[in-house]
């Protein structure tokens, strides 16, 4: 599969580099031209998408779909928005290949935890598939609302994709209990982004040393080193626009997904890897972040978590006060428009940095694996540990890693899987991860560089990206997924959205805006979480939580 895929990508790259427009213009996809399939796209986007579609070798699915309709539920961000945009974008091609019709139902982020469960609980069964965040599995699998798709994978009637291409941490998010429920689409993980040109400028490095007495570590290896850098640059006119500029750019508005910033940062303050051969082994004290795995006691107000929130408050103070009202797009744009020295967020920043309509920093993007912490809390000993020589490093798959899953109640499983596998096709998925606006991040070996994958900087240069930017960005993505000794465990239990969105997110905002101290905010969160667990049933929640994190008991 990998050798064939490399040849396909090489072919697509060569077509792009030599501008073979005449051939593409004469071709159709099941009778549809590029203009018919991608009517709202620019000429360049339409050309690249059509080349990817033609290289994907989509089989004829009209015997499965002629005259039929399937309904896809998705995160609601519009036809050109993140995640939902992917479904809209490829709908015409799916309809051409199958003769079927796709109805798309958008669901606001805050309603994901209520709208779809209500549909199942009332027996409406509206959706044949829905684009899931991986944290929804706890609800959906435990209630048997979605079905495994292993029986379809590899069937030649459907577009090709391969589980072995998916990086192991993201593959795990498509699975539960040894069965596969989702097809690949998006691989969320947060990285550190910074201005490569500014931090590597000898004049700035010299000034940093003069003011702080320290050498500037580029890229910063710890959160503490990052703070030193953002604190130094904050308020200086380092971009020469006549105005003071920012150190950090974060999205911290309640409802603006700021809780993901907290989880990514807090992991290295609060999670300890296991001793022995398997650093990711889960015990009562190691590789746990959310709840005590023996009794579901919330851990969110433990000393490591509190220290992390206090640090986040200090880090945010090296940027604008406006951050407390920013959703993620505003924080990204502040960085992409050259007004902040650093941010940490998803792969979207890497691809959006290459979009001249959104970014002025193409060619100057720095990217690195998420920092470690030189200070952390060991719950087993009940003490903080400080070690600047060997900091605590915890990777992440923070976010949703959005992907399609199939309803257990669909009347059209074959047709539904055809759609799911078409989105998962490697050539289509590679293209999606390079558009920026789709919100699709790298998930797979064909998007990562050796030794973790098959891609090269030339594959990205072929779609107009800066090769040096990609050498930093894609290398950092692979490092985050493969090189950290351990990773933040994923919370996917019933009520995840209630725990996170309705409680933690609100309480974090209270702390960040000065309404509560970090300790007060997280104490309140722990009380909320205990109440939520009680309402859902402690024993059932504990059982699902243990399954989700792979805990076998003390």
Residue at token pair 């998925």: 429
**Tens digit of pLDDT at every position of the chain (554 positions):** 443 444 344 444 433 433 333 333 458 999 999 999 999 999 999 999 999 999 999 999 999 999 999 999 999 999 999 999 999 999 999 999 999 999 999 999 888 888 999 999 999 999 999 998 999 999 999 999 999 999 999 999 999 999 999 999 999 999 999 999 999 999 999 999 999 999 999 999 999 999 999 999 999 999 999 999 999 999 999 999 999 999 999 999 998 889 999 999 999 999 999 999 999 999 999 999 999 999 999 999 999 999 999 999 999 999 999 999 999 999 999 999 999 999 999 999 999 999 999 999 999 999 999 999 999 999 999 999 999 999 999 999 999 999 999 999 999 999 999 999 999 999 999 999 999 999 999 999 999 999 999 999 999 999 999 999 999 999 999 998 888 999 999 999 999 989 999 999 999 999 999 999 999 999 999 999 999 999 999 999 999 999 999 999 86
Q: What is the pLDDT of residue 110?
A: 81
Asked if 283 contacts 354 with a C-beta cutoff of 8 angstroms, the reply is: no
Q: What is the pLDDT of residue 23?
A: 34
Q: What is the pLDDT of residue 6?
A: 45
Q: Two tokens at 383?
A: 């003490």
User: 432-436 — which CB contacts under 8 Å span 24+ positions?
Assistant: 432/86, 432/89, 432/185, 433/347, 433/351, 434/351, 434/354, 434/460, 434/463, 434/465, 435/45, 435/351, 436/348, 436/351, 436/352, 436/354, 436/355, 436/358
- Please, what sign has the CA dihedral across residues 159, 164, 170, 175? positive
Q: What is the pLDDT of residue 295?
A: 97
Of the candidates 170, 489, 502, the one whose C-alpha atom is nearest the C-alpha of residue 346 is: 170
Q: What is the pLDDT of residue 553?
A: 81
| Cα–Cα distance for residue pair 16/430, rounded to 1 Å | 14
pLDDT tens sequence across 456-466: 999 999 999 99
Asked if 421 contacts 199 with a C-beta cutoff of 8 angstroms, the reply is: no
Of the candidates 72, 61, 2, the one whose C-alpha atom is nearest the C-alpha of residue 30 is: 61
Residue at token pair 């931090």: 199
Q: What is the pLDDT of residue 140?
A: 93
Rg of the chain taking only CA atoms, in angstroms: 23
Sorted by where each starts, the structural domains of the chain and their CATH numbers stand as 2-182+402-442 (3.40.190.10), 191-270+279-287+299-398+481-485 (3.40.190.10)
Q: What is the pLDDT of residue 303?
A: 98
Q: What is the pLDDT of residue 26?
A: 54
| Cα–Cα distance for residue pair 21/37, rounded to 1 Å | 16
Q: Spell out the alpha helix ranges (H) of 378-517.
A: 413-424, 426-432, 457-461, 467-482, 496-499, 505-512
Q: How many CA atoms lie within 13 A of 72 on its CB side?
A: 29
Task: Write the CB contacts of 75 (distance below 8 Å, at least 6 apart in sequence).
Answer: 82, 83, 84, 106, 107, 109, 112, 131, 133, 400, 402
Q: What is the pLDDT of residue 131?
A: 95
Task: Write the CB contacts of 515 (distance below 8 Å, at least 6 apart in sequence).
Answer: none
Q: Spell out the alpha helix ranges (H) of 299-346.
A: 303-316, 328-336
Helix (H, G, I), strand (E, B) or coil at 433: coil
């Amino acid at each position: 599969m990998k050798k064939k895929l490399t040849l396909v990508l090489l072919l697509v790259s060569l077509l792009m580099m030599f501008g073979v427009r005449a051939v593409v213009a004469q071709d159709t996809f099941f009778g549809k031209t590029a203009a018919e399939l991608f009517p709202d796209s620019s000429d360049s986007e339409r050309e690249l998408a059509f080349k990817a579609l033609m290289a994907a070798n989509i089989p004829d699915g009209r015997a499965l779909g002629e005259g039929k309709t399937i309904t896809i539920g998705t995160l609601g961000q519009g036809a050109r928005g993140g995640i939902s945009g992917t479904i809209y974008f490829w709908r015409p091609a799916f309809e051409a290949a199958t003769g079927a019709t796709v109805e798309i139902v958008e669901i606001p982020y805050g309603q994901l935890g209520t709208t779809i469960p209500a549909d199942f609980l009332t027996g409406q069964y509206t959706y044949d598939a829905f684009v899931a965040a991986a944290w929804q599995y706890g609800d959906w699998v435990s209630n048997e609302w979605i079905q495994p798709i292993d029986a379809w994978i590899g069937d030649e009637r459907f577009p090709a994709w391969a589980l072995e291409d998916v990086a192991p941490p993201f593959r795990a998010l498509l699975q539960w209990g040894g069965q596969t429920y989702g097809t690949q689409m998006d691989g969320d993980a947060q990285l550190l982004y910074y201005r490569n040109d500014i931090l590597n400028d000898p004049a700035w490095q010299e000034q940093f040393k003069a003011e702080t007495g320290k050498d500037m570590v580029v890229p910063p290896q710890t959160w503490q080193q990052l703070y030193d850098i953002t604190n130094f640059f904050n308020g200086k006119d380092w971009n020469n626009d006549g105005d003071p500029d920012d150190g950090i750019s974060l999205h911290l508005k309640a409802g603006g997904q700021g809780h993901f910033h907290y989880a990514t940062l807090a992991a290295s303050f609060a999670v300890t890897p296991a001793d022995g051969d398997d650093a990711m082994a889960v015990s009562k004290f190691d590789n746990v972040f959310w709840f005590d795995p023996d009794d579901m006691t919330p851990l969110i107000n433990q000393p490591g978590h509190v220290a992390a929130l206090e640090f986040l408050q200090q880090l945010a103070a090296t940027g604008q006060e406006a951050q407390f009202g920013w959703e993620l797009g505003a924080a990204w744009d502040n960085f992409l428009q050259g007004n902040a020295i650093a941010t940490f967020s998803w792969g979207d920043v890497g691809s959006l940095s290459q979009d001249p309509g959104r970014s002025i920093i193409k060619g100057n993007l720095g990217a690195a694996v998420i920092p470690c912490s030189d200070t952390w809390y060991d719950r087993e000993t009940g003490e903080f540990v400080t070690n600047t020589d060997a900091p605590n490093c915890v990777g992440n798959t923070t976010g949703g890693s959005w992907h399609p899953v199939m309803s257990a109640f669909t009347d059209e499983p074959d047709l539904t899987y055809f759609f799911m596998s078409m989105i998962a096709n490697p050539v289509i998925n590679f293209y999606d991860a390079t558009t920026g606006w789709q919100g699709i991040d790298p998930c797979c070996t064909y998007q990562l560089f050796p030794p973790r994958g098959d891609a090269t900087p030339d594959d990205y240069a072929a779609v107009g990206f800066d090769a040096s930017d990609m050498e930093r960005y894609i290398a950092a993505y692979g490092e985050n997924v493969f090189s950290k000794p351990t990773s933040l465990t994923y919370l996917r239990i019933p009520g995840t959205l209630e725990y996170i969105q309705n409680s933690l997110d609100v309480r974090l905002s209270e702390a960040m805006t000065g309404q509560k101290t970090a300790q007060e905010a997280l104490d309140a969160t722990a009380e909320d979480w205990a109440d939520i667990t009680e309402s859902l049933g402690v024993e059932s929640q504990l059982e699902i939580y243990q399954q989700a994190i792979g805990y076998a008991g003390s």
